[in-house]
Structure formats: structure tokens, C-alpha cells
Amino acid sequence: MAATITQERITGRGWAVLFVLCGAIFLEGIDVSMMGVALPSIRAELGLATGELQWIVSAYALGYGGFVLLGGRAADLLGRRRMFVGWLAIFLMFSGLGGFATEGWVLILARFVTGIAAAFMTPAGLSIITTTYTEGPQRDRALLVYAGTAAGGFSLGMVTGGLLSSIDWRWVFFAPVLVSAIVLAGALALIPRDVRTPGPRHGFDIIGTLTLTGAMMLLISTVVRAPDVARGQTVGTGIAGLAVLALFILIERRAKSSLIRLGILRNAGLVRANLGAILLVGSFVGFQFVAVLYLQELRHWSELETGLALMVIGIDSVLAPTLTPWLVKRFGNPRVVFGGFALATLAYAAFLPLKADWTYTAMLPAFILLGLAFALTYGPLTIAATDGVLENEQGLASGVLTTSFQFGSALGLAVVAAVLTATDVLTVDRFRAGLVVPLIAAVLGLLIAGRGLLVIARPREVSRTS
């Protein structure tokens, strides 16, 4: 366990540790978004079919989503620093392997293992924050900076991916290697070694681990492959995934050393935060998919022009660590989340009337609103998902949240893709239909956030009548 920083303000060393952890989550965010922009260049050189091309993205999602809960638990049981450093090194190696790939299957395999590495690295990094910084304003500040860095990496990755792809798509894989090496050196120097706590060491629930990973991979596979396979196959894999998940729950109820304490899901705030995370990221990724196809396929903008157009969404990387902490302190976490989903709803509604000859000026309000929405929502959801959780379950809570983000990404992309591919030709009307999906998701997020406001209002009403 890392040494806890007890001062109310973050110390110089505390900022240095946070800088290293932010470097890793920035790396994870920029890696994902760069890949989406580089896909056309990869297809052109390796001669991949559309079905193979989607697996460059889907393999990462399967590795990430299938192993992230195990990664969170491994951080709690085996050591957070050990998991963070070890899997960061694996992330570095397999990202480099992808850059040398000359066959599609090698690239897909590299992405799958890179996803597994992120599944162990990310919850370990997040749980280092939640166990190192004192709960309250100090931890909230650290989490908001961390979340803002993640969101900023995702936004900047769209521009970086376009720039690197214009040189050579292989640099989309080589660039993360250079960043990983710097972060790894900082982690080895700055993050305190894990301290073994006295008492019995609980082992892994191997059967539970296998069934949970199998269930997650089946469910995520169902989502990401839904637009490309027969409906019967989608239903079949979905039912199989739910059946294996039910088996996992039965195993966990009887296991002596369970992988997950199911009682953690009784935390209503944690459940609301994770539902919000699914809807936030799902709507965002779905919108990005529509916007990129609209700009490149219909408007014939280049990859670099598309990335520059969407760069304004990256305003969240500036606002999340600066404005959002003040808003959370002034108005409270639930109100800020509600405001973020309200802005997201306005953003998607503002883009809904798009036309074939829309100017960038007409698109800009939606992009700005979406950047503001992400700044107000991503970090506070991270706080809500880990607040009030026992220290020895912070890795688990972080893994659950990361699963929600990843599953939301896969779900949003799959649903929007299914709407867009309902016809053979991508038209403005079809893009508008696709935009309805993120709009509905944002409205649902707004309702869930509103529920959170009702919960915090009830104690005040009781105190007034007593």
C-alpha cells in the first residue's frame, strides 16, 4: 500500500507522483483516439477487409473489458505499484510490436494484449491515487486532475493521430512507446514500494476469475460484433454471456476468497456513477464516430483536418483540473454531474440539424458544449464511483468504473454503427438518425444524475421537518 499523503494540500512529491500517474492515463487515452484516426491508412497498407479492420479496435476493447475487474482485484491483492509498473512495461512492448506488424493478425494480437495491459495498469494507477491522497478536497483535486488528463489525452489523440498518420501510421504505435518509457522511469523512481499489511493473505478465486472474464468477453464481443453478424448469433452470444455472468454470481456467493464482494454493488452512489459513466462515454464515442464519418466520408476532409476540427473538444483538458474542482467545492459533486449531462444533451441536440454543406462555424457550438460537458462530468463521476469505498477495495471499485467506461465505449459505437449501416449509402438523414443515439444516452444520464440530486435533497427536507 502506498504511503498516504495526509496534508490537505498536495505536496511537491505528491504532485510528482500524480504527474507520473497522469502520464499513464494520458497515454491510454491518446492511444485509443489515435487509432481511430489511423484506421484508413492501416487498411490501405495491410489490405485489410472492413471486418478485419474493426478488430483492431474491438480486440483492444475485448482485452480491456474482459480483464479489467481482475486487474482491479490484482492491484488490491498483489500490490498496486507492482501491477502498475509491470503492466506498463508490457503495454510498452506490445505497442511497439504493433508498429512492426506486416500482417493483420499480428496487429490484432498486439492490440488485444495491449488492452489486457491497460486493464491491469489503469485500475492500479487509479487506486494508487485513491489510497495515497487523503479523502476529501485533496483526493478530489487529484482525481479531477487525473480525469482531466485522461479526457485531454483522448481529445489530443485525434489531432496527433491525424498528424502521425500523414507521416506513417506506424508512428501511431511507436509514439506511445516513447511516452511509456518516460512514464515507466518516473514510476520506478517516485511511486513508493508496496507495503505488505499484516494478517492472512487471501488468494485468488481462480474459477470466479475465469467465469467473470469469460462473461465480460462474451458480452463485449456481442456488442462490438452486433453490426456485422446475424441477429441470431448476437442473441446467442448475449444469452451465453448473461448465463456465464449468473454462474459467476453463484460462485462468488460460495467462494471463501471471492474475486468481488457483491455487497459493494449495494452502494447506490457507486451504481449511479457507473451507469453515468456508461452513458457519458457511450454517447461521446458514438458522437465522435458520426462526426468523423460525416467529415471524412461526406465532406471529404482529410484526417488531419478532421482532428483539428474536433480539437476544440479538448477544452476539457484545461477546464477539468481548473474550473471543475472549484465547481465541485462550490456546488457539490451531484449538481456538477447534472450540469455536465445537461450540457451534453444540448451539444448533441445542437448537432442534430446538420446539413451536407454545414460550415465549421455551425458545428463549433456543439463541439464547445461537448468539451464543457466532458469537463464537468468525467472527473466527478470518478469521485462518486470511489467515494466511501473501503481502502482494500479501491482497486476493485476502480476496475468496476473502468469496465463501465470501456463497456460504454463499445456499446455506444456498436449501436451507432448499427443505425448507420441500416442502409448501404451514408446520407445526411442517416447521420441524423445516428445522432439520436448519443442524444438519448445523454438524456438518460441526465435522469440518473437528477436521481442523485433527489437523494442528497432528502436529508435536508427531513431536517427541516424535525
Q: Between residues 354 and 266, which one has the greater pLDDT?
A: 354
Q: Between residues 58 and 464, which one has the greater pLDDT?
A: 58
Q: Rounded to whole angstroms, how far apart are CA atoms 167 and 259?
A: 45
Q: Assign 83 a pLDDT band (cuts: 50, 70, 90).
A: very high
pLDDT recorded at residue 274? 92
pLDDT recorded at residue 200? 47
Q: Rounded to whole angstroms, how far apart are CA atoms 395 and 19?
A: 19
Distances (CA, A) of 388 to 87, 131, 384: 27, 12, 8
Q: What is the rounded average pLDDT of the residues 298-324?
A: 81
Lookup result for grid cell 479489467? 68
Q: What is the CATH number of domain 11-192?
A: 1.20.1250.20
pLDDT recorded at residue 347? 97
Q: Which of 109-113, 321-325, 340-344, 352-356 has the highest mean pLDDT?
A: 340-344
pLDDT recorded at residue 197? 52
Q: Rounded to whole angstroms, how far apart are CA atoms 168 and 159?
A: 14
Q: What is the rounded average pLDDT of the residues 134-163?
A: 78
Q: Rounded to whole angstroms, how far apart are CA atoms 449 and 165?
A: 39
Q: Between residues 361 and 35, which one has the greater pLDDT?
A: 361
Beta bridge partners of 133: 5
pLDDT averaged over every residue in the chain: 82
C-alpha cell at 50: 472492413
In this predicted structure, the answer to whether residue 147 has a pLDDT above a threshold of 80 is: no
In this predicted structure, the answer to whether residue 1 has a pLDDT above a threshold of 50 is: no
pTM of the model: 0.79
Q: Which of 133-137, 404-408, 429-433 has the highest mean pLDDT?
A: 429-433
pLDDT recorded at residue 382? 82
Q: Assign 199 a pLDDT band (cuts: 50, 70, 90).
A: very low
- Could you read off the pLDDT of 270-294 as tens digits, one per residue? 889 999 999 998 998 889 888 888 8
- Could you read off the pLDDT of 94-124 as tens digits, one per residue? 988 988 988 888 998 999 999 999 989 988 8
Cβ proximity of 391 and 329 under 8 Å: no
Name residues whose C-beta falls within 8 Å of residue 78's C-beta, 6 or more positions apart in sequence. none
- Could you read off the pLDDT of 385-409 as tens digits, one per residue? 877 777 777 777 777 887 788 788 8
**Same fold for the pair 11-192 and 266-454:** yes
- Could you read off the pLDDT of 225-262 as tens digits, one per residue? 777 778 899 899 999 999 998 998 898 888 777 767 77
pLDDT recorded at residue 278? 92
Report the share of the chain in percent with pLDDT over 70.
Answer: 91
**Domain 266-454 falls under CATH 2.70.150.10:** no
Q: Between residues 216 and 374, which one has the greater pLDDT?
A: 374
pLDDT recorded at residue 185? 93
Q: Assign 362 a pLDDT band (cuts: 50, 70, 90).
A: very high
C-alpha cell at 19: 504527474
pLDDT recorded at residue 113? 93
Q: What is the rounded average pLDDT of the residues 344-358?
A: 94
Q: Assign 465 a pLDDT band (cuts: 50, 70, 90).
A: very low
C-alpha cell at 218: 462474451
In this predicted structure, the answer to whether residue 183 has a pLDDT above a threshold of 60 is: yes
Cβ proximity of 92 and 185 under 8 Å: no
Question: Of 163, 182, 97, which is closest to residue 303 (Cα–Cα)?
Answer: 163
In this predicted structure, the answer to whether residue 314 has a pLDDT above a threshold of 80 is: no
pLDDT recorded at residue 123? 85
Q: Assign 201 a pLDDT band (cuts: 50, 70, 90).
A: low
Name the residue ranges covered by the structural domains of the chain.
Answer: 11-192, 206-258, 266-454
Q: Assign 460 a pLDDT band (cuts: 50, 70, 90).
A: very low
Name residues whose C-beta falls within 8 Å of residue 410's C-beta, 6 or more positions apart in sequence. 58, 61, 65, 220, 223, 224
H helices of 47-170, in order, are: 50-78, 80-100, 104-132, 137-167
